[in-house]
Structure 1
Amino acid sequence: MSDKTLKTITRADIALEAGVSETVVSYVINGNRYVNSEKRERVEAAIAKLKYRPNAMARALKGKKSNHILFIADDIQGEYFGKLISEIDAFAYNEGYFITLCADHNDEDFVDRIYSRFFDGVVIGSANFPLRQIQRLVNSEIPVVLLEIRDYSSITGVYGLINTGLYRGARNCVRCLHERGRRNLLYLDRISKEGHRSDRDDWRLKGFFDQCQEYGLDVSETNVIAGCKSEEELMQAITHLVQDRGFVPDGIFGRNDHMALVGMEAVKALGYNVPSDISIIGFDNSRMCRFTTPRLSSMEIQQKAIGALVMKMIISLIDNRSSFSARIEEHLETQLIMRSSV
């Protein structure tokens, strides 16, 4: 198909290909009305087949810039995203933008609401946000910046991607434990009220498995506790693993500091000493690390640098999106902060 043909594809062509009305096509593209999943999939398949690109000028005619950016996170109660939003807001305010933090709601209506409120850009820092919905946002030419919590290589089009160093950081956490002679390692995944668990495309979990396997450690799903809906459920799962299943870890890696500290309390309650019996390491280097006994070692993420890059990317996409032909990306490194829990 030639470039000239690409430019002539219309919503009417999409409607004919998908066997729906032009109104339904508009609803799917704009995301401002509910469309049942079967029709939506047909429209999205037709868009992909015909390589349709929405007219950015038409979207711009909806209204003036709102100077409002939406940040979607999967844990708005934790310290990490609160601190990160503070860093982003400092840069955003200087550029005349406001930032709104929103929890990820994993349902069909959520993305439709994002469209209807007309944000200038969207930043996604959620492991739960479906890849299909991210692709919808990118296809609609809304400026999108992704914090690379998981593998986003399947997302096509123009968007921003910031690799915050989670994968390499996770591998370094395992290296640290291995250097201390720890061989029976346990990974504590996130707490989720919906019981969500990370997949192997999650960079921290993938880093854990890949580094363990490089060392020749015997790791399987037994080495991961996931799907817990509360701290109490996580502590019970650790107790069950140790007392009923006979797996006693000598090293624990928490997906974040919160998980690591819950793990610390659980093993201490079982009579184990940290760090002589079990070494424990977290991720994020939150303030609570310094006020535990023992103090928690943790992998620090460059939040200030992330804040600067988020605004640099989002403003570039807002002002000069047409000058990019593919995603723009940046890579950062993490730093291990050693304390007495390892």
Structure 2
Amino acid sequence: MPTVADVARVAGVGAITVSRFVNGTSYVSAAKKKKIQAAIDKLGYRPNQAARILKGHRAKVIGLILPDLADPFFGKCASAIESYASAHGYMTLIVASKHDRNISNNEVSMLIGQRVAGLIVVPSLSNDSLTEFLHEGIPIVALDRPLSGIAADEVVVENLGGAQTAVEHLIGHGHKRIVCVGYDKESHAVSHRILGYTNAMQSAGLKPELRLSIQSYEDALKLAKQWSKSPDRPSAIFTLNNVATRHMLEALREVNLQIPEKIALVAFDDLELAKLLSPALTVVRQPAVGLGAQAARVLFERIAAPKNQESEFGIKLVLPVEFIIRNSCGCTGIPAA
């Protein structure tokens, strides 16, 4: 197995210079970096992470805490983060809190024990355990929603405005009774989407109607059955995320409530096959890949920054969303985008 000395010999530099390059502990000229990287590639050298950790260095690993691995949106974010980290020579350790406090606390302890260099987290529970990262000097970036009470960087999307635009579109179709369907109302992202829905309804003089316990197909089916038997059912639905959307689509099909003939639907977040559905789904599209990539960029800037140059206050990036009009809202003749 090649060693630091072997890399130094092939690159024509000193072993200390190779160590500095591998550990990122001090300045190495661009010319020497190029020679060292070429030698590493030629020899297939891999730094001994265990030895680095024993010497007090951070592992070349970042942590990523998601609330739910089953949500395709977070899957896209994670893929973008992993790709960015890999391009910078880091691995990504991905865990899911599953909205469980004990699981989350155990994951935080594990990541700290692994001496990760930084953390990207989608907050879903109390932030108390995350303060341990700050005490250890490990940078944190909040993804999709902010970390309350912690001065961490955050990368989010325009949830409120996107939701308001979607509901205003349904109102423009003449819908008076539009129901907001989903779950996780305590989260920052979902609460802002609910606020956007409520703003649009109240501005039009309409009464908001919330159904915020739809977390499973069974929940959605129960609601759809109630509507199918009622002559006073809503004429449109606004779903808060793609998990709720998927459940509602399946439930509405089961009770034969055709979209948009019997009930229109607009969703927050785009599904992978949304444009191939019949009818194609009108959505608020989030830049999932861009969100993950921007979160990773901010984190690696923090990791690379000298300690005395780190900002005490977190930065906030708000990425725009895109309203994609297809056919489930009632529009016709719209090519699926």
* TM-score, reference length from structure 2: 0.71
The alpha carbon displacement at 1:279 in A equals: 1.3
2:96 counterpart (99, 103, 113): 103
User: Which residue pairs with 2:128 in the alignment?
Assistant: 132
* Pairing 1:66–2:66 present: no
* Pairing 1:336–2:323 present: yes
Determine the C-alpha separation between the residues in 1 that align with 2:119 and 2:69. Answer: 16
Give runs of aligned pairs for residues 133-148 of structure 1, distance below 5 A: 133-148=129-144
The alpha carbon displacement at 1:199 in A equals: 2.6
Counterparts in 2 of 1:209 and 1:131: CA distance versus 1, 3 Å: farther
Unaligned segments of structure 2, at least 5 residues: 1-52, 330-337
Counterparts in 2 of 1:61 and 1:168: CA distance versus 1, 3 Å: farther
Question: Once the two structures are aligned, what percentage of the paired residues are identical?
Answer: 20
User: Which residue pairs with 1:212 in the alignment?
Assistant: 201
User: Which residue pairs with 1:116 in the alignment?
Assistant: 113
The alpha carbon displacement at 1:166 in A equals: 1.9
RMSD, matched Cα: 2.6
Determine the C-alpha separation between the residues in 1 that align with 2:246 and 2:182. Answer: 12
1:293 match: secondary structure? coil
Figure out how many residues of one structure are paired with residues of the other and give that number. Answer: 269
User: Which residue pairs with 1:248 in the alignment?
Assistant: 233
Contact kept, 8 Å, 1:185 with 1:252, in 2: the verdict is yes
Give runs of aligned pairs for residues 77-226 of structure 1, distance below 5 A: 77-105=70-98, 106-108=100-102, 109-110=105-106, 111-126=108-123, 128-149=124-145, 152=147, 154-157=148-151, 159-190=152-183, 197-199=184-186, 201=188, 202-219=191-208, 223-226=209-212
1:285 counterpart (256, 259, 270): 270
1:282 match: secondary structure? strand
1:287 match: secondary structure? coil
Contact kept, 8 Å, 1:283 with 1:299, in 2: the verdict is yes
The alpha carbon displacement at 1:136 in A equals: 4.8
Contact kept, 8 Å, 1:200 with 1:206, in 2: the verdict is no
Determine the C-alpha separation between the residues in 2 that align with 1:285 and 1:229. Answer: 18
Query: Max radius of gyration: which structure?
Result: 2
User: Which residue pairs with 2:69 in the alignment?
Assistant: 76
Stretch deviating more after TM superposition (326-335 or 295-304): 295-304
The alpha carbon displacement at 1:291 in A equals: 2.9
Determine the C-alpha separation between the residues in 2 that align with 1:247 and 1:317. Answer: 55
Determine the C-alpha separation between the residues in 1 that align with 2:229 and 2:300. Answer: 53
- Paired residue type of 1:144: I
Determine the C-alpha separation between the residues in 2 that align with 1:247 and 1:62. Answer: 69
1:239 counterpart (218, 225, 232): 225
Determine the C-alpha separation between the residues in 1 that align with 2:192 and 2:133. Answer: 22
Q: Deviations along 1:197-224, whole A, 9 cap, x unmatched?
A: 32384222232223322322212xxx22
Determine the C-alpha separation between the residues in 2 that align with 1:116 and 1:279. Answer: 50
Contact kept, 8 Å, 1:296 with 1:339, in 2: the verdict is yes
Contact kept, 8 Å, 1:253 with 1:280, in 2: the verdict is yes
Segments of 4+ moved more than 4 angstroms: none
Counterparts in 2 of 1:257 and 1:114: CA distance versus 1, 3 Å: same
Q: Deviations along 1:170-214, whole A, 9 cap, x unmatched?
A: 122212211111221112214xxxxxx323842222322233223
Counterparts in 2 of 1:135 and 1:215: CA distance versus 1, 3 Å: farther
Contact kept, 8 Å, 1:73 with 1:125, in 2: the verdict is yes
Determine the C-alpha separation between the residues in 1 that align with 2:168 and 2:55. Answer: 52
Q: Deviations along 1:301-332, whole A, 9 cap, x unmatched?
A: 11232233112210122222542020112121
The alpha carbon displacement at 1:268 in A equals: 4.0
* TM-score, reference length from structure 1: 0.70
- Paired residue type of 1:209: T
Determine the C-alpha separation between the residues in 1 that align with 2:181 and 2:55. Answer: 46
Counterparts in 2 of 1:200 and 1:305: CA distance versus 1, 3 Å: closer
Stretch deviating more after TM superposition (200-209 or 166-175): 200-209
Unaligned segments of structure 1, at least 5 residues: 1-59, 191-196
The alpha carbon displacement at 1:341 in A equals: 0.5
